[in-house]
Amino acid sequence: MSWIDEVPWNEQGLIPAIAQDAASGRILMVAWMNRESLELTSRDNQAVYWSRSRNRLWRKGEESGHVQSVVEIRLDCDADAILLRVQQAGGIACHTGRQSCFFRKLENGRWVTTDPVLKEPSQIYGKS
């Protein structure tokens, strides 16, 4: 059996994937993968996800340049998720221009933004 057949794809053929910064350990983002995206990620050592909103492969950084070089791919025991340890180009994983998508923290009953915007999204995506 191929390693990719050991991944318990859900009914939609997807599995969540966590991207973690290999240097800092910071969790950068969570996205989804289908079989093809995991195969490509493994083959090229560049993170490729499946965009559920756009219903197509999403090569992370294809628009922003913020690609993720994959250092390591891990699978958990009951295979709820894939873990990618990555080197994050530009130090920005989030479409809001922040390092991590997890930039809100629960404090006294409110989600408080704790992380600065490192680059304005208009500067990242504004090429029209």
Note whether 105 binds a copy of itself by CB under 8 A. Answer: yes
Out of 36, 44, 80, 120, which residue is the one contacting a copy of itself (CB under 8 A)?
Answer: 80
Nearest-angstrom CA–CA distance, 56 and 78:
26
Contact between 104 and a copy of itself by CB under 8 A: the answer reads: yes
Q: Which stretch binds a copy of itself (CB under 8 A): 17-25, 60-68, 116-124?
A: 17-25
* 35: three-class secondary structure by DSSP: helix
Nearer to a copy of itself, 42 or 46 (CB): 42
Strand 27-34 to strand 68-75: parallel, antiparallel, or no bridges (unpaired)?
Answer: unpaired
Per rule CB under 8 A, is residue 106 in the interface with a copy of itself?
A: yes
Q: Quick one: 48 exposed, middle or buried, by C-beta within 10 A (0-12, 13-18, 19+)?
A: buried
Q: Which of 16, 90, 91, 121 binds a copy of itself (CB under 8 A)?
A: 16
The yes or no reply on residue 102 touching a copy of itself (CB under 8 A) is yes
Q: Which two tokens stand for residue 42?
A: 């493994």
Say if strands 82-88 and 14-21 run parallel, antiparallel, or are unpaired: parallel
Query: Which of 34, 37, 36, 18 is CA-nearest to residue 82?
Result: 18
72 binds a copy of itself (CB under 8 A): yes
Residues that bind a copy of itself (CB under 8 A): 2-3, 6, 16, 18, 20, 24-27, 29-31, 42, 72-78, 80-81, 83, 94-96, 98, 100-106, 109-111
